[in-house]
Chain A
Amino acid sequence: MPFDVVCIAVIGKMNNPLYIKNCSSTYQDLKCHYIAHTSIDLVEERISTTKHTDQYLGLLYAMEELAVFGYITNTRVKFIIVTSLQDVAIKDQEMKNLFRKIHNSYVSLVSNPFYNPDSHKPIVSANFERAMAEVTAT
């Protein structure tokens, strides 16, 4: 992968944070939260101004040497991947695959009958955690 994942965020349909993982050492957790929160703006803009056919939303914005990519599920759950800004082109397919992985783990999380997707509580799941670690490791 030609890029480093700095942060992965899962945002609920009510724009509440479900899961925010900071994978970097240089950035503070708070920064990740801010990025995840501000990216909702761009997600909303993307899905309202374009005929949104793809779940992958592409690059949302680049700011402060970070590039923020977005993905939205049918249930309006948003996935955000933040990478460090580098002078290389990131193939959308690669990014999409990463999002697919997150989506799959989220699907298996929701399939758990004891998980309430409508609760505003953050995701606490060892499996999900492990899957996210795999995503960032690859």
Chain B
Amino acid sequence: MESYPLEYVLHHVPLMAVSGLLDTEVLGNNDGMLQEDAGGSLRKSLLSVLMSKNNASIWDAAAKKEAPFFHVTVLDKTHVFPPRRSPRATPAQHSNLSPLNPISPLHPDGIMIPAWIQRHKETRPSVVVGFYDLWERSEAVDSSDPLGAQQTLSLERERDLILCSEVMEKKRNTGERGIKFAIVITLQASRGDDTHVEERLAFIRRTCSLDNKSLFVLLAQNADLQLFVTIMQKSLYEQSANYYRDHDKRIRKKKARLPPISAMRATTSPTSANIPSSTGTPAKPLPPAGWHLRYEFKLGVFAEFRQDVEAAIKHYETTYHLLIELMHAAIGPNSGPPMAQDFLQPFTTRWTEARTLADCVNLKICKLHLYTDRPVPALQQLDKHISACKMFPEFVGRPSTEEQQGVSSGISKLGNLAGGGSFDYWAWVSIQYRVFGELIELATGKIGLRLPFPPPGAISAVNTGTGQAQSFLNTISNTSMNALTGGDMPAAQFTPSSATSPSLVVQHAGYYYFIAASCAEERWKKFRDAEKAITSAPPPPPSAATGARAGHSRIYADIPSSPFSPLMSSTSTHPQSYESSLGSERDVDHATFVIELLTKSYEQFKKHRAGRMTLFLASEIARVYEQSGKYEMALKFFERIGKTYRKEHWPSVLRDVLRSSAQCARTLGRWETVAECLVELLNERMSKPGPDGESERKAVLQELLSVIRGEGSNPSNGIKVIVDMDQLEGFLLCTVQFRKHSTYVGVAAPFQICLKAASSKSPPVAIRISRVQIAFSDSRFDHVFSDSTADGIAKAREVQWVDCTDCSLTTVEEGREVYSKAIDLDFQPGMSKVLEGTVTPGEGMDLKISAVSIVVTAGEGSLILVYKIGERSEDTSTRRKWYSGDGDEAGINRWTMLDGSGEQSVLRVIRKQPNLTIQLNHAPPGLINEEYEVDVEVVNEESEDVEAFLDVEFRSSGADGLDATSYIKQQTNHLESPTLPGNDHNAINLIHLGVIPAHARVSRRFWLKCTENAGERVMYNIVNYRSISRTATSPTSPEKATPATHPEFFFRKNEPVRIPFVAPFNPEFKETVEFGAPFDAGEVGLFSARSQDGKLDMMHLRNIGLKIVCPGPWELEVTEVMFTQAIDETVGVRSVQVAPVTNTSTSNPNGEVWKAGYVHSRVFRVVAAIDPMAEVSQIPLGEVGVRWRRKVPNRNSTSWVETRICLPKLKISHDSVCACIDIPPLIFYTEPFTVTYTLYNLSLATHHLSMNMEVTDGFVFSGYKQTQARLLPLSSMVVTYNCVPIVCGKTTLPKLKISIMGEEADLTKHGPGQEVTDLRVRGGVDSGVGTAGELIAFVRPKNS
């Protein structure tokens, strides 16, 4: 757009001239310096505010109608406008831009030049604004001095009059030219509301006869200049419009004097009757039609100046039609009215001027339509313009025999002119579309035009009649645009009557740039044709170029030659101009032009988020780069765009891209890229269906192999190309499958590699694969299958199953071994090859097939197709398949479905816990003190050997830690030092069980012993073990690994066993006391004197009954039950004799068998002599030792153990008085009985006793309720009373409460004495002393 004269293209805005703002003028003013400084800065800022809009973007001027602005120019204060020519002026007074003026560049027959517009834009203001300062006295008025005030007033008046005369001078000068004049008076010091100042201003206004709208007052202090300028311009706007309207009227008047257009069309010769007469130069003057045109254009310009868009469009359209008509008339000898022969001849300067004017007027019309939100008429204007200009002679291409094919299919309509258009034509069309695109882009960007317009379904079919549609589009645009700018695009509503007119839809700028680019490319093509025609004098026969010439067959079709004879060209009449344009065309970098336009289009589409369209444009850009020989850039673009087409499966597009890339890479000698492209082109989908495609692919394969052989490169050593097949659509597919998701260490896991042709005819011919390499995540498992080169199964089978499970480990390089096998790797078209192999991992891991590489060698080069299995994403759509084959054709060969979906490329190797069981043989419960025998048996249930270590631990089941009462040992002898050094006696660790062969068992025997505390114990049996496999691929493990040193190799199995331990014997004791009479000579006396030393002993006689009960459940063998008396050395104990009453002491060496529930009884008689004065409370008696062992049939080897049972200690009481209570054995209901209390005084003092009977409910009694007695030392007495029970059952007996009173003490004085508590009850069934000290007896019902 910028290539046109800016004066034609820019939007016109009214011009305002300001004077009195330049600093030079201020200098003439000899006011106070202070004032001047302030005024100077004010002027400067005013000027900058006014001028700031000069730089504003003028494209969107009309969009802001509510804020009109002016273009501002600065005039000198003394500037005087030249007076306008009077209408009756002499011809010599013509403007120096008029065609009538001989010095004008338009003389004699020019229509218009940009300088005319420039004049109006820059030097012919519509409004002049003069800025003046109001003189103000600097000192305050002294109101008391009337003379001074008077003087000041007269001074002011004087100054004001000077100002007025200046203003009036100016006003007269501008008024002569019809220019509106306004003044701005700046008040430096005063405030606006000063009545005196107001009076002065009114005076000035009156004197200068200015109206209200022409005088503005600017307060210098705190003035908002921006606001002031806006307000001022707003109020002057209408007047400036009037100025242009005056011009309008003037032009109209002139125009009216011309003969009407219709008259001109009718006449056969131009008439110069009424036109302004020329100066008589021999050149032909401008014909009346030209004058019409000129005036119409001026009218349009003035309408635009006053922002009357509608009128401007109307005038411009008329101008345009006139101009085109004139131009057509000039070139068409027989068509159109001959109103301007010899005027506007092609290939002249005037013609070029006219073309520029036509283009610019067209541009103006389009732009103004867009300003008023009418995109469709704008588009129509463009179409009109292009079709109108098509027939210009310089646009006519050289006729050729193949006109239609000469133009790319996308722009054939534009090329619908003679000879397909010249390069000049295409350059011009390209510019037109580019300009239109730029306009659309501006319109969308600045005024929010929404595209496409009209939106789908907006136009009713009823209105699609030609004229109606036009008006409809014009009307609807305004309304719907307004509606659209607010919110979202409404839903497309397709009513039954709606219709779409595709050619009348305005789309975003990208489309127009694209057309421009296509045209630019066409221009390039035409230029090449023209060049060729000149260089190749004898044209080739026309038939040579009938091949595909259309846009995209660019790879294999060479640049089409366009034969035509230069003699046939209509432009031959102007060979010079043709030569010059061809010459300038040679300097044009066409490719850059095209790419620039394509890039502009690309950016537009990118902005509209049309990603696929940008890909298309990128491919176009790449194509142009390729054509211009910039293969590097082309390749870069091609590589970038292939991805989406591949992803969305557009093979035919991808094929084109690949072929182009291959071509570029070939030219650049990048053979790796070539090979990569060729590999993908081998896919059948990439080629045309049918035999054509097949032969094409055969050629591709041939080329691929020759590329690999290195025939293209130099020196031809063969090249190595690695192609990532997962990034492209390959002709050969590869899937892998582990049969199972997981396996155990040492168990062979089968896998299959399936190489499958992508279609039935790929590869196009059989190829021989040299190697198939399978890379695992652990390189120890890598497989390489090489070609056996044997002519294997020639029969083409659909699926060929190859058994590769018997690979051998071979060394490929230093220190690296792979499994390898030579197999038949001939790959027939359409076949599938299933290679089945196995891996046997020797340790736990996730084994992954990371990549499969297929190596095809040709010559010294090799092509490696890599399938990066490990990087594939999960595919859930296909079932897992497994080919069950046996290599035998007769066998069952078919695909079977496996569980799950996708590709199982990961094998989870689980270190299987070998099946090992721990069994315990023992006989619970164990007995305390017993050596309890436990057999721990470890059973290897695997088919492989297992090495195992055993840890055992034995302790109470409670809290952790050591248990001092539990022991474990492995040996049978000496329990006291049972364990190995370093082991605590609760546990034995690291018992090496050795290698347990498959299905064998190993047992160890342990003895457990608990010394005390019957209860549950736990035996922990922990086996650490590992399987020892000889077949699996496993890391080399250290020779002697133990769980302690290499815990990672071992599995651990724990088998805790709870074992209850019970006591072997339950002893029960019963103690009875014998009382003898004091001083009885026998040993049973209460006191006895020793015969030897005559000392008095206090004798205690007891009978202790012992019952040893065997609770079971085991039978015990007992050899000996032996009493051992304790040796007591307590002071005061004179002698203790414990003698078994029954001498049934057993000491049977063979032992006697005590069954469960057996009771062994013993009675011991204890006679203890104690010093009466000694404080002895208890005397240990001794213990009974039982030697026993568990009775186990057929075994006598168990050792005897001894359990000791301690007799209860003898308790000695030291009460001075004790009472023995005799209750009859049987008490019957209501039958009286006697209770006898025998009271003994065991001390050597006399005691006074007080006895009280405590009554109870169950009995009535007879006897003293309260009595007293005196008890002599070492004497006894008997108290009896009778009772009658009156209730049955267990009842509390009345009790005699016996208290010892102090010796010779007063009863009343001392109160109750010490109560006798040593009560012993004899006789009476179920009678005794209760817990609270009460006597309890059982009363039976009376005998019947």
Q: Which residues of A line the B interface, CB within 8 A? A: 14-17, 20, 26-31, 33-34, 37-38, 40-42, 45-46, 49-54, 56-59, 61-67, 69, 83, 85-93, 95-96, 118, 120
Contacts and interface: CB of A to CB of B under 8 A. Distances in A.
Given A14-B648, A64-B518, A120-B649, A58 B499 contact: no
Interface stretch (B1-9, B43-51, B299-307, B486-494): B486-494
A28 B553 contact: yes
Contact of B461 (A45, A61, A87, A91): A91
A114 B951 CA distance: 66
13 contacts: A16-B648, A16-B649, A17-B650, A17-B652, A20-B652, A28-B548, A38-B616, A41-B613, A45-B610, A66-B410, A89-B504, A90-B499, A91-B498
Interface string B640-682: 0000010011101100100000000000000000000000000
B608, B609, B652, most chain A CB atoms within 10 A: B652
A137 to B, nearest CB: 21
A63 B648 contact: no
Given A61-B507, A61-B511, A49 B489 contact: yes
A50 to B, nearest CB: 5
B489 A37 contact: no
Interface stretch (B323-331, B452-460, B1073-1081): B452-460
B496 A93 contact: yes
B877 to A, nearest CB: 8
A90 B502 contact: yes
Interface of B: 409-413, 452, 456-457, 459, 461, 464, 469, 488-505, 507, 511, 514-515, 518, 548, 550-553, 605, 608-613, 615-616, 619, 645, 648-650, 652-653, 656, 877
A61 to B, nearest CB: 6
A42 B493 CA distance: 17
Given A63-B511, A92-B499, A38 B612 contact: yes
Given A61-B507, A85-B503, 6 more contacts: A16-B649, A41-B605, A45-B610, A65-B413, A90-B501, A120-B649
Nearest to B498: A92
Given A30-B656, A89-B459, A92-B500, A56 B494 contact: yes
Contacts of A92: 457, 461, 494-495, 498-500
Closest 3 CB pairs of A and B: A64-B410, A58-B456, A67-B502
A45 B610 CA distance: 8
Contact of A62 (B411, B494, B502, B605): B502
Contacts of A31: 409, 551-552
Nearest to A87: B503
A57 B492 CA distance: 7
Contacts of A56: 494
B503 A30 contact: no
A31 B620 CA distance: 12
Contacts of B503: 62, 67, 85-87
B612 A33 contact: no
Best-surrounded residue of B452, B612, B656 (most CB of chain A within 10 A): B612
A29 B652 contact: yes
Contacts of A86: 502-503
B608 A45 contact: yes
Contacts of B511: 61-63
B273 to A, nearest CB: 43
B840 to A, nearest CB: 39
Contacts of B649: 14, 16-17, 120
A66 B500 CA distance: 13
A16 B685 CA distance: 13
Given A30-B656, A41-B611, A51-B491, A64 B650 contact: no
Contacts of A33: 650, 652-653
Contacts of A91: 461, 497-499
A45 B451 CA distance: 12
Contacts of B616: 34, 37-38
Residue among A34, A56, A86, A91 with max Cβ neighbours from chain B (10 Å): A34
A96 B495 CA distance: 11
Nearest to B645: A37
A62 B410 contact: no
B466 to A, nearest CB: 9
A95 B492 contact: no
Contacts of A15: 648
A82 B464 CA distance: 21
Nearest to B501: A89
A63 B410 contact: yes
B516 to A, nearest CB: 12
A121 B456 CA distance: 32
Contact of A89 (B456, B464, B609): B464
Contacts of A83: 502
A66 to B, nearest CB: 8
B629 to A, nearest CB: 23
B1049 to A, nearest CB: 50
A58 B500 contact: yes
Contact of A58 (B413, B457, B515, B648): B457
A136 to B, nearest CB: 18
B641 to A, nearest CB: 11
Given A41-B613, A61-B507, A85-B503, A28 B489 contact: no
Contacts of A26: 409, 412, 550
A56 B650 CA distance: 24
A54 B493 contact: yes
Nearest to B651: A17
Given A59-B500, A92-B457, A92-B498, A50 B507 contact: no
A65 B461 CA distance: 22
Contacts of B505: 59, 62
A10 B328 CA distance: 48
B502 A59 contact: yes
A53 B613 CA distance: 25
Contact of B502 (A14, A40, A85): A85
Contact of A53 (B491, B502, B609): B491
A50 B499 contact: no
Nearest to A68: B502
B494 A63 contact: no
Contacts of A29: 652
Nearest to B507: A61
Contacts of A61: 452, 507, 511
A93 B457 CA distance: 10
A58 to B, nearest CB: 3
Contact of B491 (A50, A64, A87): A50
A93 to B, nearest CB: 5
Nearest to A36: B650
Contacts of B504: 87, 89
A89 B457 contact: no
Given A64-B518, A65-B410, A87-B501, A34 B496 contact: no
B612 A41 contact: yes
B412 A96 contact: no
Contact of B650 (A28, A37, A62, A87): A37
A50 B490 contact: yes
Nearest to B620: A34
B628 to A, nearest CB: 21
A95 B502 CA distance: 12
Contacts of A93: 461, 494, 496-498
Contacts of A38: 610, 612-613, 615-616
Nearest to B550: A28
Contact of B488 (A41, A46, A49, A90): A49
A96 B650 CA distance: 26
Contact of B500 (A20, A42, A89, A120): A89
Interface centre among A15, A37, A57, A92 (most CB of B within 10 A): A92
B610 A42 contact: yes
Nearest to A58: B456
Nearest to B553: A28
Contact of B409 (A14, A16, A49, A64): A64
Between B411, B514, B653, the greatest number of chain A beta carbons within 10 A of the residue's beta carbon is seen for: B653
